[in-house]
Amino acid sequence: MQSQMTPKRPLTLRLAAPRGFCAGVDRAIQIVEESLLKWGTPVYVRHEIVHNRHVVERLEALGAVFVEELDECPDDRPVIFSAHGVPKSVPAEASRRNMIYLDATCPLVSKVHIEAERHYANAREIVLIGHEGHPEVIGTMGQLPEGSVTLIETVEDVATFAPKNPDNLAFLTQTTLSVDDTAEIVAALQARFPGISTPHKEDICYATTNRQEAVKALAPGAGLVLVIGARTSSNSVRLVEVALRAGAADAKLIASADDIDWSWFDNITTLGLTAGASAPEDLVQGVIDACRARFDVTMQAVKTADETVTFKLPRVLAG
């Protein structure tokens, strides 16, 4: 900390907008909160509702119990499926056990699930661009019989992909990918398979795209960009990559202000700050407050879009 005798060093803080919670995350958290009000405690949640420990811990304090699989849940308490989506086998098992279950899958992820089923019904071979092991990818691939979907992670994967019928292909993408990286993979697929069926509308969600555009706008000339988010959050990890590609001298992923190593700021005059789609705004404010305690901060808003999207709650909670 600076002593009161020493003037604080100036720091320009560029704050990205949009940042933080998207409509799908907002809806998922509301589903847990409203379920606790409707049914009391405990309410079970399969997997982290969204990829953020601060959010999960707050909901645990309200009475939510987070589990990995349905077999950890009793039959007589409600269970909620996370925003990332689940394989079809999960709600099928919940139905077999006569459980009350609520699906908090982001509607934009559900859209990809519907596309997958449409392509499968049309006997197309399906390629999914995404990251192996991510819950959203597991959920999307789990909409169809095993072996129906081939996962492509890189441009190199496109070169080695050997479809059964190159003339009857379709591709889908995970919703939280890097827009630029995905465009390269799509271009490679289309170059190899000119007739490949494309999504009606871009699968990468509006919130991922908007947060990446805001980072591209604030990164040039920034000595450091801080992205608030979890290491398990795909969209947050992508924001770090986007910042570096867009011209930031350095970029770091932090869970909160507690993770900041202040030696990162030794020669920094301009800081960029954003938050992934599952990071709450109070964490952003925490970083701003920590910077203000140490520097003479000048705030600059870098706004690239307005977001007005909202998603309805499940009917059982809407009353």
Could you report the per-residue pLDDT of 260-270, keeping only the tens digit for each?
999 999 999 99
Q: For residues 4 and 119, which has the higher predicted lDDT (pLDDT)?
A: 119
Question: Average pLDDT in the 162-191 region?
Answer: 94
Tell me which of 136, 146, 156, 202 is the catalytic residue.
136
Distance CA 168, CA 191 (A): 15
State the CB neighbour count (10 A cutoff) for residue 159: 9
- What domains can you pick out in the chain, each with its CATH number? 9-21+206-303 (3.40.1010.20), 23-106 (3.40.50.11270), 107-204 (3.40.1010.20)
Question: Average pLDDT in the 266-288 region?
Answer: 97
State the CB neighbour count (10 A cutoff) for residue 281: 12
pLDDT for res 2? 52
- Say whether 156 is catalytic: no
Distance CA 209, CA 254 (A): 20
Structure tokens at 200: 């009606």
Distance CA 319, CA 313 (A): 10
pLDDT at 309 over 80: yes
pLDDT at 200 over 90: no
Partnered with residue 16 across adjacent β-strands are 302
Sequence-distant (6+) residues with CB within 8 A of 285 are none
What is the percent of the chain with per-residue pLDDT over 70, rounded to a whole number?
98
* Secondary element (H or E) of residue 10: strand 9-17
pLDDT for res 202? 76
pTM of the entire structure?
A: 0.92
Q: How far from each other are the two terminal CA atoms of the chain, in whole angstroms?
A: 51
To which residue do tokens 């490679």 refer? 188
Mean pLDDT of the chain: 95
Structure tokens at 286: 């925490």
Question: Average pLDDT in the 178-199 region?
Answer: 94
Phi, psi (deg, nearest 5) at residue 31: -60, -40
Of the candidates 119, 125, 124, the one whose C-alpha atom is nearest the C-alpha of residue 152 is 125
Distance CA 72, CA 297 (A): 48
HEC readout, 172-240: EECCCCCHHHHHHHHHHHHHHCCCCECCCCCCCCHHHHHHHHHHHHHCCCCCEEEEECCCCCHHHHHHH
To which residue do tokens 């700050």 refer? 273
pLDDT for res 14? 98
Helices (H), the chain: 23-39, 53-62, 89-96, 107-121, 135-141, 155-160, 179-192, 206-218, 234-245, 281-294, 315-318
